[in-house]
Structure 1
């Protein structure tokens, strides 16, 4: 069974030396080929969508077990492998400027596989909006990779950074497990739980989303007046008209929203949403210009004027730790031990020979792997890198 998760990792500096990068790429290539042969393209996508499995792959190829770079390097290695091999899966996007090339690359992939590029481009934009606007935890997205297979299934792995605490958070999505893009859609969430987050995609958010769509049909100027009145009330000014909350109750609520940033209502975006008569939360999130600050302002109005609340729970669980996979070849920064090139090369040679064998011959290897299933690493060797 796949775990649910969002992985949080500290920011690391430095780079992967060329001798290691070449080996990482070769090992990732062999792992992906074996997975496709054993489980098909869907099996590969399902594993990439599991944050624990993804982190285990990172550890296996020798990246630091706790680095934010595990996402960018591992996803980059896999993308490069898929671009050079005809395995029935391709990838678009990447880190920073590469993420902005996602639409263009999705068009190329769709042409190869005979898919509808527009649908994938829309999905890419919506998923990014969900993890920056609909779910706010203080992280800014800077990495977005979209994996697509020949049958149209997909997995998205994206990551955000919180500069103030120097932590990264990774979000995993899988097409085959999504019932709604805006109601607990993630395939994986794991890591450190925050005290609270502005979560408008929790299961209990149906009433919130419905009411939000209702107030969007009102004049943006009226909504703006409500926001300004609430801000004035929180500063101690006496309102000229009735509000359902007293000053002492308003201030902590406003401060909680402000902990994620300022309130900047984009009236043009709201006017566009009103003109288009958006009928669901997905459509609203895709409105150009509707960003985190606008949603915070709208949520504040919903909570203090209409008494309709978003969820404040951070959707994080604590899955099994894949640190033991770092014992395969070691870690780039010498945790749990320095990488030995000869050992790495022996592993690559073994997997190359294994790839040449039939599935029946591989069954013997599967039996051998059971020896390490219950092995537990010495906790004192799990050090921060």
Structure 2
């Protein structure tokens, strides 16, 4: 897929706070920001692997990881620096894949939030708020309940979540239209209404499928959880995120053009209908993949893009990579809090993100005059 149009550059969204100051920043500021965020991600990951019900020393974590990556793997009873089999299991088989999945999901949801806000020109848009995550949940639970899409094998749940997310996105977007124009209020109301309706559908499927095991699956997909993550779960979300982010970076100038409105984008030679159709597919694929492996985690796609734009401006060549790294660190830290704050009990990740995102959403409503991107649709 390739976005059409001959857009050269649209550097910022009209009406953004401090936009001119951000655009005058030196070119190396992006590199510095990315470097600092990489350091933050590494520090967050180390803390998440080290801390828990069984706390480990950082040197133990480093020994296990370095042996796996550089020394051909850990061998039991080999006297490798005093690293026991229990340490190996905790670091490499339990916490490491969980931390990596948290980083992938956090980055994916943040990127989706960035794209959705550009697509609809509304700072309140995110996959959870607009019902896209709920649509993905319906698709995933339908696969579990009825065994549909079996032809795609191990990717059946992801395929179901993708189809559900795509249908939910299209429905919300269609309902938000009025006389050919997209209205911000209708968008939010449509998203909330569709989201609640699809949550009801998810519950209905669970209660009528005759499988008690689906009750646990329902909790996972409605509140989000990264528990029991295995290495085998990382390949698909990593591939989808990498390819999706690469494509979106190539379309960064077209995304910038969307911020000035359809009429302005058309004057720059952009086919907005074609671009939005492609973005619908990419957003649905990213959302469906992340929901399939982690459940419906809310507010990441709302909080992270907004903070990112306050830091680096509205140019998507900056916003996309910075949001990805910031979202990764954010969800790694949230998952750490979810499994340590009430130890030995573990909270669903979505509970923590809701406690953070709810007040942030209220604050954004209160500060509506700084709406990003481009003001109301």
Q: How would you bin the TM-score normalised by the shorter chain?
A: under 0.3
The structure whose residues are more often strand, as a share, is 1
The structure whose RCO (Cα within 8 Å, separation 6+) is larger is: 2
* Larger-Rg structure: 1
Q: TM-score, normalised by structure 1?
A: 0.21
What TM-score do the two structures reach when normalised by structure 2?
0.22
The answer to which structure has the higher helix fraction is: 2
